[in-house]
Structures are given as C-alpha cells and as structure tokens.
A and B are shown apart, each in its own frame.
Chain A
Amino acid sequence: MNSFPFDSWEQGVELAGPYFTWAEGPVFGAGPSVVLAILGIAVSVISALLVTVREDKLLNHAADRLADKYGSED
C-alpha cells in the first residue's frame, strides 16, 4: 500500500502540508489518523493497567512471603 500523500516531494513542498502516515485529507474528526490515535490511546491505557496489575501481584506475593518473617517476631 502506498501511503505517500503527494505525487512527489516537489508537490509536497509546494502544498506545505502534513506528510506523516495516513495524514492526507481533512482529518479533523474522521479518517485513518483518528483510528491511529485511538489505537495509540488504547496501547497507553492498557500498558498502564498491565503495570498496575503486575505490580499488585508482585507486592501481594512479597507481602505473603514476608508475613511470617515479620509476623513471627511481633
């Protein structure tokens, strides 16, 4: 798939417009750029959730392991 938005670089310089991936056309509110943005947001949010869940498991595991050590000397 050819995603280059211009016929040539010369035309791009003349139009002085955006040239990043799937940025062609009026993109405000619609188009492939919006889909890319939504995917980017999804990756960010899911990453944050995964970090939270992973850390929670690690800490709970460590707390269980340490309960005997600290509990036995109370």
Chain B
Amino acid sequence: MSTAIVFTEAYYFFTVAIMWLLHVGFMTYEAGVSRRKNIMSTAMKNIMTIAVVTPTFYYLGWYVYFCMQEGLKFTVSADGASPAGLTGLYFCGDGYGLAWDGSAGPHLGDNITGVFWAAFVLFSWTTGSIMSGAVIERIRISAYLWLTALMGGLVWVVAAAWGWSYGGWLGVHFGYHDFAASMVVHGVAGIFALGVLYNLGPRIGRYDSNGGTRAFQPHNLHLTLMGLMIIFTAFYAFYAACLAITADTTPGWANIYFNPATLSAITYTITMGFAGGFAGGYIFSKGDPFWTISGGLAGVVAVSAGADIYSPNLVLILAFFSAGACYYIGGWLESKARVDDAVGAVSVHGFMGMWGALAVGIFAAGYPTGPAGVETSFLGQLVGVTAIFALSFVTGYVASWILKKLNLLRVPPEVEVEGLDMAEFETDFYPEFGRADEPITHADGSRESAAATLRAELAANR
C-alpha cells in the first residue's frame, strides 16, 4: 500500500474525529438556548441523532449518493459508467455503497472507503443537528428522530449526489459549484427545517394576540457561545474533509468535482470568513452577543460554496455583509413571517446557504467546474439552488405534516408549559436551584415572570 493511500486514510480519519466536535458544539449551543426546563430533552435529541442517522446513511444514504447523481431515479449501469459517460470515479453499478458489499467493511485492499464514508456520516449528522436547534422546546424527540433520519440519511444525500459529486447532474450540465456545501448541507438543513416549522408551529407564548413577538430568555447564553466556538473549531475539519487528495498530480488536492484546489486556499477562506462574520454580526446587531457569534457562522456559510477559489479580501467583505443580512432576515422570519426558529437556523443555514451558492455565480463566474469543465454561472447556481430548495422544503413539509396528522409531532401543551424534561425524564436537572421563575419579554419590552402568560396562552390554545 502506498504512503499516499495511508496518508489519505489517516487524513480523513482525523477530520472525522475533529468533526465530532461539531456535535459537541451543537448540543452545548442548543442546551444553552433552551429554557432550563427543557435542557435534557434538547440535548437528548443531539445524542440520538447519531443513533438514527448513522444506520440510515449506512443502509441507504451511501448507495443513494453514488446512484442518484443523474436525478430522482437510480441509474445503475453494469459497466460502471454513468449515463453521462463518466468512468473511473463513478461507482454505481457494481454494488458499491450497499451494506453487503465488500467495500462496506474491513477490506485488505481498500483503506479509503471506510474513512470517506465516515466523513459523509459526519456531514449527515450535521444536517440533523442544524434542524435540531430550530425545533426545540415543543417537538417530540421521536418526531425529530424520524425527521432527521429522513434528512440525514436521504434528503441531503440526494442533494449531494446532484450538486456535490463527481457525476452529479448539476455539476456535469450546469457547472454548479458548491465547494464546502453552502447549499447541499447548510441550505438543505435550514430549508428542510423551515418546512417542518410550518407544521410544528411556534412555542406557546411566543406571539401575542396583537401580532407582537415575545422573547424567551436562554437559560445560559455563555453555554451557547461556547458551543458555537466549539462548532467553529470543528469547521476547519469540515472544510478539510471537503477536499480530495490527489497526491500524484499538482497541486495534490482537488475539490469534490475533482478540479484543482489547495488546503491553504480554504484555510484563508474560513479564517477570514469568521473574522468578517463576527464583525458584521456585531455591527449590524448593535453588539447583541447571540447575533454577533451567529454572524460568524452566517459569514462562513455564505462563503463556503466558493471557499476554494475566493480571494480572502472578498471573503472578508462577503462575510461581513452576509452576517448583517442574516441578522435582518432572522428578525423578519421571527416577527413578520412568525416562524419560531429558536436558534435562527433557517436564516443562518437556510438563507445564507442559498445566498452562498448564488454568490459563486456572481463573484466566481467562469471557473470551469466538474469533469466536463462547464463554466460556473449565476444561472447554473440558480438552477442548483432552486432544485435543492424544492427537494428540501417539500420533504420537510410533507414528512412533518404526516407526523402532525398522526399526532406524533408535538408534545401536549400542558407538557410544553410545564417543561419537557419533567415529562420525558421525570426529573429536574438543576434540583439544587428549585423551580425559579421563568422570565419572558413582551413585545413592548416589558419583562415579567412567564407563568401567567403561559397559562393564559395554554387556556387560549384549548
């Protein structure tokens, strides 16, 4: 076995290990945002994401990734060539990706499939974790798990097969370029979550009868900030895992479309992206801690699609203004569209993911992308964003609608007001502090104990 192969194996292994921190971060972040009565039910969702998405991807997603690159149908070919005539890196047709194939386990001639598969699994968990935060404090854990299995094991995989693969139709025919998955991970998860939120509805007490928006107080904002900083650390590994190693050809690395790239280029992008995003988040939100740090994430999501080709100067500027746009879109979704997204995931991941993919068509038009070398264009990026938006929103909306009709989507209202932890676990996870008053901020800025408001809203809901 060549040194290059063993290096590749080790490289992906360590990206996977570091990407685990994404999920440490998401769990910490969401637990901090939740009210103290919902901490453990929030965290449990993140833990169980791994339990359900991993087998779904192993048994279904991995095969789908290789065999749905031409559209909504499976395109299995006996000679290993894709319908577009691609060979070599097109695997569908010989059983590759199936759970009973020789590549799906220990193999003395295949060091790479397992670590490459695991990197994809970590991306799958990430889509689930992105949705997880949006729906906290009223969704059933089991409903979330069914939805995240669907998205993490299938929906994002189809998007990746189309727009984030060697033979995907978006790259082959439209030059669609989405290096670090602005749309195929972040956009998919944010838009799928939007479809779910329409059926799930807002938390009890979130909106008053006059159309005003009330704010709940995160139980530990510092925990939220720390969770996001952990996520940012793992983002470097996420970016690194988006590269393919081509050690025997200059420059030694390629993007997912097998066009030349470098690790150095993406390191510039992610670092400058965080800087611009934090600055933009702080300036536009007037120093709000939540939106300052979310601005960093929004900035990086917005530059991820072009991370392998952007100038660092452009990255700084794009991230700065994207963070600002994210702040205003988040506010509009919350107060005007009345979408109760507890962590701003629809704005940060969904809208910035779409914008990030479209931005490549504006700022990096003309770059040849994919095996056919089709020039990247705004129209090609728009086709990709539109197709993936439809895929994500429709599946999220329909799946959550079915769960709603089965009365399996949302917890009973009494449980929501009392707190999910007491129902799910029958214990208080901060027993030494007793049940302190839960604050709520009304639309006019006044603040009081939430108890009376929540009881009144509960009665009105009956």
A residues neighboring B (CB under 8 Å): 12-13, 15-21, 23, 27-29, 31, 33-34, 36-37, 40-41, 44, 47-48, 51-52, 55-56, 58-63, 66-67, 69-70, 73-74
Contact = CB atoms under 8 A, between A and B. Distances in A.
B110 to A, nearest CB: 8
A59 B52 contact: no
A60 B424 CA distance: 11
Contacts of B418: 62, 66, 69-70
Contacts of A15: 108-109
A55 B95 CA distance: 38
Chain A CB count within 10 A is highest, among B103, B110, B142, B149, for B142
15 contacts: A18-B102, A29-B100, A36-B100, A37-B59, A48-B142, A51-B142, A51-B145, A55-B141, A55-B424, A56-B140, A59-B424, A62-B412, A63-B423, A70-B414, A70-B459
A20 B105 contact: yes
Main secondary structure of the interface of B (DSSP, over half): helix
B142 A55 contact: yes
Given A55-B141, A59-B140, A66-B414, A48 B146 contact: yes
Given A33-B99, A37-B59, 13 more contacts: A20-B106, A20-B107, A27-B102, A29-B95, A40-B58, A41-B55, A44-B52, A51-B145, A59-B412, A67-B414, A70-B458, A70-B459, A74-B462
A59 B414 CA distance: 10
B422 interface: yes
Interface of B: 48, 51-52, 55-56, 58-59, 94-95, 98-103, 105-110, 140-142, 145-146, 149, 408, 411-412, 414-415, 417-418, 422-424, 455, 458-459, 462
Contacts of A44: 52, 55-56, 59
B391 to A, nearest CB: 23
Contacts of A33: 99-100
A3 B59 CA distance: 23
Among all A-B residue pairs, the 4 with the closest Cβ atoms: A16-B109, A62-B423, A20-B105, A18-B102
Contacts of A74: 455, 458-459, 462
Contacts of B107: 16-20
A27 B415 contact: no
A59 B102 contact: no
A65 to B, nearest CB: 8
Contacts of B103: 18
A52 B55 contact: no
A65 B414 CA distance: 9
A45 to B, nearest CB: 9
Given A19-B107, A63-B412, A58 B99 contact: no
A66 B59 contact: no
Contacts of A58: 423-424
Contact of B108 (A17, A51, A62): A17
Given A28-B101, A48-B145, A58-B423, A40 B108 contact: no
A28 B95 contact: yes
B32 to A, nearest CB: 24
Contacts of A37: 59, 98-100
Nearest to A27: B100
Contacts of B52: 44, 48
A63 B59 contact: no
Contacts of A34: 100
Nearest to A21: B105
A49 to B, nearest CB: 9
B414 A23 contact: no
A40 B423 contact: no
B26 to A, nearest CB: 20
Given A59-B140, A66-B418, A40 B99 contact: yes
A52 B408 contact: yes
B342 to A, nearest CB: 20
A60 B142 CA distance: 14
B140 A62 contact: no
B55 A40 contact: yes
Nearest to A12: B108
B6 to A, nearest CB: 14
B140 A55 contact: yes
A19 B107 CA distance: 6
A53 to B, nearest CB: 8
B109 A17 contact: yes
Contacts of B414: 62-63, 66-67, 69-70
B53 to A, nearest CB: 10
B101 A56 contact: no
Contacts of A12: 108
A13 B111 CA distance: 13
Given A27-B101, A48-B145, A62-B418, A41 B59 contact: yes
